[in-house]
Every structure is written in C-alpha cells, then in structure tokens.
Amino acid sequence: MVKFTPNLPRFDYLTDIGKLTDDIKSMAIRNLNTGYQRELNYRHYDGSFSAFGQSDNEGSMFLTAFVLRSFYEAQRYITIDDSLLTDMQKWITDRQQADGCFPNVGRIIDTGIQGGLEGEKPRAF
C-alpha cells in the first residue's frame, strides 16, 4: 500500500488546485496500477488481506478494511475488480458481531497505522 494509497489524496489535491499535469497524472496512474497489482499478493483465498498474504494464518480485519476503502477510492482513476471488492466486503460483514463491532482478527505489523485503535473495532471506519 506504500506506493498505492498516497497517490489518492495527491491526485485529488492537484486536481482541486488545477496543477495536475499530464506527466504527473500518468505517473500517479502507473503507481496506482503497480500498487494494486502488488497488493493482490497479500490477498487470502477467503477475500481478506494480511501483511504477509497466505503466509499468515488468517486475514486482518483492519488491513482488509483499509484495502477495501483504498480500492474503492482508487476506482475513480483505475479499474478495480468488482468481485474483489465484493469478496472483501463479504469477509468483513460475515465477521460483524451482534453488537455491531468487528473483531480484532489477524495481525498488524505496524500498529501505528491503526491510529491507536485496539481490541474490537467500532462500526465505522
């Protein structure tokens, strides 16, 4: 996600201020496509994502939600497989608890990306 996610707000910002040149746009789209393809290496067969892909025992709730959100945003600029989005969404919603929370499943290598969240996750991302 390192080469993927940062391109999204840059794209929006440069478009908003009228500074998105064709060269920058081409580079950003190339980075998004490369990042998208790389991220698919971390996908589990059940539709979830994790830091090490199939090497991890299970997918990560946080990473799967993060990837889902990022891929939805990226659809404005590149083609994202709809079935991939559906699989991630289903994996997440299938694990939602009766109280509306999402369990903290899977591991996160860099917990700083969670913004201080620990334990069960609230309903909103």
Two structure tokens written together for 37: 């393809």
CA angle 101, 105, 108 (to 5 degrees): 115
- The answer to whether the CB of 1 falls within 8 A of the CB of 67 is yes
For residues 86 and 1, the model is more confident at: 86
pLDDT tens for 78-92 read: 999 999 999 999 999
Residues 73 and 33: their CA atoms lie apart, in Å, by 13
Q: What is the pLDDT of residue 55?
A: 86
Q: What is the pLDDT of residue 33?
A: 95
pLDDT tens for 4-28 read: 888 899 889 999 999 999 999 999 8
Backbone CA torsion sign across 41, 44, 47, 51: negative
Task: Work out the pLDDT band at 117, boundaries 50, 70, 90.
Answer: low
